[in-house]
Homo-oligomer: A and B are copies of this chain.
Amino acid sequence: MPKSNKTPTINDVARIAGVSKKTVSRVINRSALLSEDTRTKVEGVIAELGYVPNPQARALALRRNFLLGLLHDNPNAQTVLKVQEGVLDAIRDTEFALVVRPVDRHSPTMLDDIRRFLELQRLYGVLILPPISENDALAELCLEMGCGYVRLGSAMLDDEEHIVASNDREVVSQAVEYLIGLGHRRIALIEGPEGFRSALERREGFLAAMQAHGLPVPPTARSQGTYRFESGLEAASRLLDAPERPTAIFASNDEMAAGAFHAARSRDLKIPEDLSIIGFDDSPVAAHIWPPLTTVGWPVREMGRAAALKLIAPGEEAAQAFRFPARLVQRQSVGPPRG
């Protein structure tokens, strides 16, 4: 009889089923070398006792645990959460769990902090979200620590095994061409901060579309922000106060687009009649500002799922995907230019 009200162990199962613990272990791990008889017998005892293998003991014996990590510096809350959901889609019905670890990319000790974290937790693998996914030293650290990793990003930062990427450049080009198709000629760009791959890609997509249609992009039609709301307000203010005011703005993310809304509003410009705006991210704010913002969205949840699968089941087909198409979400902040 198992000791009362203690969670049963493999020994309890073995004793009651009248087999060795190794045999129970075989049942748990679905070893092929088992007679149907013993398997059903042991499974019966397992069910009866409600036995669940101790993950710590397994982790110790197998010399690896079943913990995935999520490293991020809050690109935006919705994205982080969607990725978490995607990872959960992937690890549902497995023994894996997801550990989160926010980091501060401006901290000089970030890398050391992460190293200590990895040493301490010995994770099976980590997912790295943008913008810190662009940090190559971080990827090397993972390699060095023997920790698997997958980076989410807007570009091919790494080889297929380690990346889940989106096609920012192409989709931004499409968005700009959509504006051009509506008749816009003076289209301005609010760029993301220097040094960000995503900012670079989106800028290139923008410029490529403009150039393809022979449209000029004077310096006054480009303005840089930090991906934050206030910076979008300021960047848009500069653009809108330029002599040749643009009729449309592409903002490199939604927060800055929301800032641009405010800048337009305070100049009595109507959206979309006087000014069309397109953002990027498809964050919740995009749907909740007025008018709802036309924007570009990553399939974040699917990307999170794919990234997790790359770590835990790299052989499977679904884990092979590494390029995910972003798409334009049309709402009401875009219209043809006036006149």
Contacts and interface: CB of A to CB of B under 8 A. Distances in A.
A100 B98 contact: yes
A98 B97 contact: no
A228 B95 CA distance: 34
User: Taking the full assembly, how many copies of this chain does it contain?
Assistant: 2
A70 B98 CA distance: 10
- Most chain B beta-carbon contacts within 10 A, residue among A57, A59, A265: A59
Contacts of A229: 287-288
- Most chain B beta-carbon contacts within 10 A, residue among A56, A74, A258, A262: A56
A333 to B, nearest CB: 13
Nearest to A264: B290
Contacts of A57: 60
A52 interface: yes
A99 B120 CA distance: 15
Interface in A101-149: 101-102, 119-122
Contact of A97 (B95, B121, B285): B121
A157 interface: no
Interface stretch (A40-48, A77-85, A175-183, A219-227): A77-85
- How many chain A residues sit at the interface, stated as a range, is 35 or more
B65 A56 contact: yes
B120 A101 contact: no
A229 B284 CA distance: 10
A77 B101 CA distance: 16
- Most chain B beta-carbon contacts within 10 A, residue among A101, A120, A255: A120
Contact of A288 (B65, B67, B289): B289
A49 interface: no
Interface of A: 50, 52, 54-57, 59-60, 65, 67, 70, 74, 77-78, 80-81, 84-85, 88, 95, 97-102, 119-122, 229, 255, 258, 261-262, 265, 284-285, 287-290
**7 A-B pairs with the lowest CB-CB distances in the bound complex, closest first:** A77-B77, A56-B59, A258-B288, A52-B119, A77-B81, A56-B60, A77-B78
